[in-house]
Amino acid sequence: MAITLTTLPSQPATFFKPQALKSSTISPPKVSPTAPTESSLLLTLLIYRFGIFRDRWALFLRRSPTDPTGILLHMRDDGDGQFRFEIKRNYDTRMAAAPHPAMIDLAWVGKENFGDDNEENMWKKGVYFVERPGVPTCRFEEVIARAGGEGFMGSVYAQVQKEGYWLRPANASCQLWVIEAVQRLVVEGMVGEEVLGFLRARRQQ
């Protein structure tokens, strides 16, 4: 079934009355603890706290379910109303302030999406490196980087208003960016539709 990417119309930020969110038990996709092929990378949802904001989302690539180090990809809030794509290479989740981020494994992504020289380009030979804005080094990162383009923040404000509860755009932006990024991965055949379905349902909890 074809998936259509949609952009909601731009609307100004307004204040919304809080309402209870839907509560349900949502199971994440079933992911094998071992890679299906050599050099596949595990796509993980990183959920963390940033200052007063809880339930911030980012995407995280790592080599195994027990590896605390990987490549973090997210939409960064610069504090000036601007949101920019950022990549942190060889990011160690143990560096994060307590409480440490929660990690939910989503899917293995095949090595064909990362190129032949990913140790040099993606992993920078193990050196921690921050790119702001993020510079894609492979097909996977190129697809991810397309999310959050022109009109993105207008879509965020419109979605918050549609849902009928107050959610700071800083939180909504990172969650909706992850959903759009994964939607693009589904279109490209890198992950299954069950991953996108889980993220959409998880955000409504």
Answer whether residue 132 shows pLDDT above 50: yes
Spatial separation of the C-alpha atoms in residues 70 and 19, rounded to whole Å: 36
Better-scored residue on pLDDT, 205 or 140:
140
* Assigned domain for 99 exists: yes
Q: What is the DSSP string of 72-107?
A: EEEEEE-SSS-EEEEEEEEEEGGGSPSSPPEEEEEE
CA distances from 66 to 70, 127, 136, 143, 203 (A): 11, 19, 25, 26, 25
How confident is the model over 92-120, as a mean pLDDT? 86
**Element spanning 61, H or E:** strand 53-62
Mean model confidence pLDDT for the chain: 78
* Assigned domain for 98 exists: yes
**How many domains, in total, are found in the chain?**
1
* Assigned domain for 13 exists: no
Percentage, residues of the chain above pLDDT 70: 68
Q: Give pLDDT tens digits for 137-183.
A: 999 999 999 887 655 555 555 665 565 544 555 556 788 889 999 99
* Assigned domain for 132 exists: yes
* Assigned domain for 182 exists: yes
* Assigned domain for 173 exists: yes
Q: pTM for the full model? A: 0.78
* Assigned domain for 56 exists: yes
> 110: closest CA among 190, 30, 34?
190
Residue 123 exposure: Cα atoms within 13 Å on the Cβ side: 17
**Residue 31, pLDDT score:** 96
Say if CB 138 and CB 74 are below 8 A apart. no
Q: What is the DSSP string of 145-180?
A: HTTT-TTHHHHHHHHHHHHTS---HHHHHHHHHHHH
Domain assignment of residue 57, given as a range: 41-203
Confidence band of 53 (pLDDT split at 50, 70, 90)? low
Spatial separation of the C-alpha atoms in residues 190 and 113, rounded to whole Å: 8
* Assigned domain for 59 exists: yes
Q: Give pLDDT tens digits for 9-34.
A: 333 333 223 333 343 457 899 999 99
